[in-house]
Amino acid sequence: MRHDSNAPALPQISFEQFLAVDIRVGRVVSAEPFPEARKPALKLTIDFGPVIGLKRSSAQITEHYTPEALVGRLIAAVVNFPPRQIGKFRSEVLTLGFPDEQGAVVLFAPDMAVPVGGRLF
């Protein structure tokens, strides 16, 4: 999958297909280096509120973010993909971001405070 701004739009999907992707807002409660990952990454623990709870994610976001700067920050993630085993780490959600000019990840997040667990619509 191409992640650059010159990639063509993907084929159309139905609104029902969009609704099947559960994107929620969460608050990072811990972040730590993930030196065992093949590509530089951080291990995140994210609070999605009382219904979804705490979930973990491996995120390749080391170019712009330090673990200390992420704690307390709101992020968006897909919470209904199957977990992925990355080495000894089980990534339960897909943290979302956009590529910058060099292709490094810039996190996708609300620009105002919102309750954790809220679903994107």
| Token pair belonging to 58 | 């491996």
Residues β-bridged to residue 74: 27
Task: Give residue 101's region: left, alpha or beta (phi > 0; psi -120 to 50).
Answer: alpha
pTM of the model as a whole: 0.92
> What percent of the chain shows pLDDT beyond 90?
87
Using pLDDT thresholds of 50, 70 and 90, give the confidence band for residue 2.
low
| Spatial distance between the Cα atoms of 116 and 73, rounded to a whole number of angstroms | 11
The superfamily in CATH containing domain 20-107 is Nucleic acid-binding proteins (2.40.50.140)
Using pLDDT thresholds of 50, 70 and 90, give the confidence band for residue 37.
confident
pLDDT tens digits for range 68-87: 999 999 999 999 999 999 98
Using pLDDT thresholds of 50, 70 and 90, give the confidence band for residue 51.
very high
Q: What is the DSSP secondary structure assignment for residue 11, as one 8-state letter?
A: P
- Provide the pLDDT for residue 7: 83
Q: Where are the domains of the chain?
A: 20-107
Between β-strands 74-78 and 94-95, what pairing exists: parallel, antiparallel or unpaired? Answer: antiparallel
| Token pair belonging to 115 | 């309750």
